[in-house]
Amino acid sequence: MSDTIMTASSLTKQYMKNTVVKEVSFKIRKGMICGLVGPNGAGKTTIMKMLGGLTIPTSGSMEIFGERDEKGLAHSRSRMSFMIETPYAKQNMTAMQNMEKLRLQKGLPDKWRIKEVLEMVGLADTGKKVVKNFSLGMKQRLGIAGAMLTKPEIMVLDEPVNGLDPEGIVEIRELLLKLNREEHVTILISSHLLSELSLLCTDYLFIRHGEIVQDISADDLKRTCHEYLRISTDNNSLMPAVLENKLRLKDFTVQKDGSVHLYEKTEDIRLISKTLFENNIIPTEIHMHDANLEEYYMKLVGDDDVQRDKSADISAVKKH
């Protein structure tokens, strides 16, 4: 029996002539913590809205808990919870009062569940403190508490660590790991920074310009982040042509300073140096370098997009 509990098949969403999600396909298996990672504006929120029935796909289909038609999908979504964009809470009410309001809205009979979820997220002792006096991290944890009220089997979380300081990110990460391990909740979580999810996820979907560019497990991602050769010369502008035409090398990237990161034939340093010399290019730097996850991410989705998002995050943290 398959452990796949959610499948997206060629999901596409267009607004007028603008395609924001293009033929996205993936599978979510029971017990996964899957990170949907890509720059701001890549289509992450739109995908989550389609999964939640908040936005109708232009084309494509989805299957959740074996259901494919609209009636079946609506029933399947009752086994899920969604926290998309900013979690809503009454600012002049306490955590307990907000949860009670949400419980009544959802028609849930068990009042004891409120105390249980507030204890899960570490907000059981906030007493009479109202939400407007909560830190951003506390507000995010309150949103997760609301998502847990119905005992979901799948949680879909849109940027739950966005704007948090490092301590807040750690709190949310530990909470989600606890929910996954102890409550057996499968999680689909989005972020525009891989570093925020690198100690959390079992699998990753990388998205850029509305398309999935990589579907990879955390273990395979770590293996993929192999070492590379960093090469600088006295004529960086000619170096790529020599590598490609003389040495038949194709798996490399040119950096902003003109240097090259070479991901293949890294053991052939002597041959590479010799060939560059023979073409009147003098190497000034050749050394091995271990690629990290963030560098791999920038290679996938684009350095400029990642740097822009990092700058926006720094500004957001300074405001809080």
pLDDT in tens, 123-136: 999 999 999 999 98
What are 12's strand-pairing partners? 59
pLDDT of 30 higher than 70: yes
| Superfamily designation of domain 4-222 | P-loop containing nucleotide triphosphate hydrolases (3.40.50.300)
Segment 171-198 mean pLDDT: 90
Using one digit for the tens of pLDDT, what is the confidence trace for 255-296? 999 999 998 888 889 899 999 999 999 999 998 876 667 777
Helices (H) and strands (E) in the chain, counts: 11, 13
Segment 6-16 mean pLDDT: 96
Residues of the chain within CATH 3.30.70 domain(s) are: 226-291
- Please report the sign of the dihedral spanned by the C-alpha atoms of residue 285, residue 289, residue 292, residue 296: positive
* Cβ-contact 10, 25 below 8 angstroms: yes
**Token pair 């009752």: residue:** 78
pLDDT above 70 coverage of the chain, percent: 92
Q: What does the alpha-carbon distance between residue 110 and residue 320 come to, in Å, rounded to a whole number?
A: 35
For 216, left (φ over 0), alpha (ψ -120 to 50), or beta? beta
Q: For helices 95-106 and 112-120, what crossing angle results, to 10°? A: 130
Q: What does the alpha-carbon distance between residue 276 and residue 292 come to, in Å, rounded to a whole number?
A: 27
Between 310 and 103, where is the model more confident?
103
One-letter amino acid of 292: N
What are 190's strand-pairing partners? 36, 158
CATH code, residues 226-291: 3.30.70
Residues of the chain within CATH 3.40.50.300 domain(s) are: 4-222
Give the Å distances, CA to CA, from 37 to 30, 188, 233. 20, 10, 34
* Cβ-contact 142, 131 below 8 angstroms: yes
* Cβ-contact 84, 159 below 8 angstroms: no
Angle at the Cα of 103 from the Cα atoms of 48 and 49, rounded to 5 degrees: 10
What contacts 256, CB < 8 A, 6 or more positions away? 303
Mind spelling out the 3-state secondary structure of 90-139?
A: CCCCEHHHHHHHHHHHHCCCCCHHHHHHHHHCCCCCCCCCEHHHCCHHHH
Q: Which two tokens stand for residue 278?
A: 């023979």
For the entire predicted model, the pTM comes to 0.75
Between 122 and 314, where is the model more confident?
122
Q: Of the candidates 201, 188, 193, which has an alpha carbon nearest to the alpha carbon of residue 24? A: 188
Q: Which two tokens stand for residue 166?
A: 């490092």
First-to-final CA distance of the chain? 48
pLDDT band (50, 70, 90) for residue 195: confident
Q: What does the alpha-carbon distance between residue 50 and residue 40 come to, in Å, rounded to a whole number?
A: 17
pLDDT of 143 higher than 60: yes
One-letter amino acid of 16: M
